[in-house]
Amino acid sequence: MSREIHAVTGAFGYSGLHLSKLLLERGARVCSLTGHPDRPDPFGGRVEVRRFQFEDPARMRAALADVKVLYNTYWVRFAHGATTHARAVEHSRRLFQAAAEAGVERVVHVSITNPSLDSVLPYFKGKAEVEQALAASGMSHAILRPAVFFGGRDVLINNIAWLLRRLPVFGIAPGRYGLQPIHVEDMARLSAEQGASRTNVTMDAVGPEALGFDELVHLVRRAVASRAWVTTVPPWFLLLASRLLQAVVGDIVLTSDEVVGLTSNLLVSSGPATGTTRFSEWLNQNAASLGVAWASELDRHFKPSQAVHA
């Protein structure tokens, strides 16, 4: 069987869309593995849609039978309803097992900076468990560890801007912590490069600027001409304010685990930059459209299905 297909989990989603666009531009045949088969197709039928079949190993293998490279973005940001991090880990194991049995040549997997099997945070522990499962599969693989994305239809930076445009006060948790964002198109290029390799590798996927979180917030504040007062507040107050905002935006604004992960400095890298786009330069060029509309995590990933993609 000729293996020419590049399968992207969530090819119509966020990071998957940018990767699929790049692969198509390079002449690759692309299919989308998704739990949202009825999503609008931005590629005009050029990307074949195949549904996740986590509960049916034979159908999952069949969906991967002609796949050369699998790019995996499948994950959950937070537990919601029946969707949990433990369930996402199990689904990822089944996906890798099906890929190995189907003869997939290469897996490029999207993880997170600083995952750990010892972490008390289900997100970071789960990501480490998925990495472990991929390594145990015996397949040729690349594990890419982004901290946070910016560009396109990102959630974090856009929603910070949304809040700064509308609120008189913007609170941040105390302490010295930061993040090292990578542009989503830099991530797409890095993923495609690793899809062409057959060397096992694990690397952080981060941009050239490591920013303190307070520094990032002030950069966004200036860029969108916000008059909000930025001040430190205790984590419990942040979470209370987030729950109140949830009723306004109809979305999960922030979780306690996300506060712990951020303030524990887990979204920075000790390795070299692997992206080239500077956040500060991109911000100045895109400020006019940033934060104009709220980017809803619930709308993007949990309606109508429960499968999720980074």
Q: Going by C-beta distance under 8 Å and a sequence separation of 6 or more, which residues neighbour residue 144?
A: 108, 109, 110, 111, 187, 190, 191, 194, 203, 204, 205
Number of C-beta neighbours around residue 45 at 10 A: 7
pLDDT digits (tens, 9 = 90+) for 26-80: 999 999 999 888 888 999 999 999 998 899 999 999 999 999 999 999 998 888 7
pLDDT digits (tens, 9 = 90+) for 208-235: 999 999 999 999 999 999 999 999 999 9
Measure the CA–CA gap between 191 and 193, rounded to whole angstroms.
5
Q: What is the mean pLDDT of residues 193-198?
A: 97
| pLDDT for residue 310 is more than 70 | no
Report pTM: 0.93
Q: What is the mean pLDDT of residues 276-299?
A: 94
Q: Tell me the angle at which helices 184-196 and 15-25 cross, rounded to the nearest 10 degrees.
A: 50
Tokens 């190993």, residue located: 57
Q: Going by C-beta distance under 8 Å and a sequence separation of 6 or more, which residues neighbour residue 306?
A: 35, 80, 81, 82, 83
Q: What is the mean pLDDT of residues 139-146?
A: 98
Bridge partners, residue 140, by sequence: 106
